[in-house]
Amino acid sequence: MAPAAANRIGLDRFRSIWQRNLVEGAADNSAAIHQRLLRAYQEPHRRYHTLAHIEHCLAMSELCESLTAVPDALEIAIWMHDAILEPGRRDNEAMSAELYLQVSADAHGDEIRRLVSRLIMATLHDGNTLEDADSIYMVDIDLSSFALSWDVFLRDSQDLRAENPHLSDADYQLNQTGFQRMLLARPRFFLSDFFFERYEQQARNNLERYFEYLRNSA
């Protein structure tokens, strides 16, 4: 792992952001939480939702940090949003949000806890109206891997498939391409101006190419 990537997901950075938001008199349990998250993102059934995904999202958050209202909440939400990943469950995001609320109890204030929880739930990508600009950035950051190079995009797609062994190929493609076509059908794939201006066309190109790849592979 490159030094910059290691620094993003290292204890020092995580501890710093956790400590900045501690309420007065709260114990600092950041090292234990960081270790718990490292173990989670290295679970053997994960292929895409790994530490590499967290590092990528943190790198994207750095690019738009000056545009966000509460960058600390966004960074904590990035760390927590895929902390729970159980194949076949539909409530992984809710369980990840609940995990944050558990580990931050008596440590962070109510306002940031509500915001982090809301940002995590925004990654459901369920089409619900997002309540604030930071939720829009959270969604765009989570989807930004759609705009990586074609080779990386294809590898990510294969890794996502590997995370769902409980589904047949037909069922997986029905679910996944349904979600992807929903994204393509939106007037904007990326909702924020920042991501739209930089990554919109590449994301659309990758998906169109991917649909062609699936047709040719059938």
Q: pLDDT of 89-120, one tens digit each?
A: 999 999 999 999 999 999 999 999 999 999 99
Q: What angle do CA 164, 165, 167 make, to 5 degrees?
A: 75
Q: Is 196 exposed, middle or buried (0-12, 13-18, 19+ CB in 10 A)?
A: middle
pLDDT at 55: 98
The number of folded domains in the chain is 1
Which residue ranges in the chain fall short of pLDDT 50? Answer: none
Strand, coil or helix: 29: coil
Strand, coil or helix: 108: strand
CB distance 177 to 212 below 8 Å: no
pLDDT at 106: 95
Nearest to 190 by CA among 144, 134, 125: 144
Say which CATH number the domain at 104 has. Answer: 1.10.3210
Q: Which two tokens stand for residue 201?
A: 């066309």
Contacts of 210 (CB under 8 A, 6+ apart): 153, 154, 157, 180
pLDDT at 6: 77
Mean pLDDT, all residues of the chain: 95
Q: pLDDT of 40-62, one tens digit each?
A: 999 999 999 999 999 999 999 99
- The parent domain of residue 54 ranges over 3-217
Strand, coil or helix: 37: helix
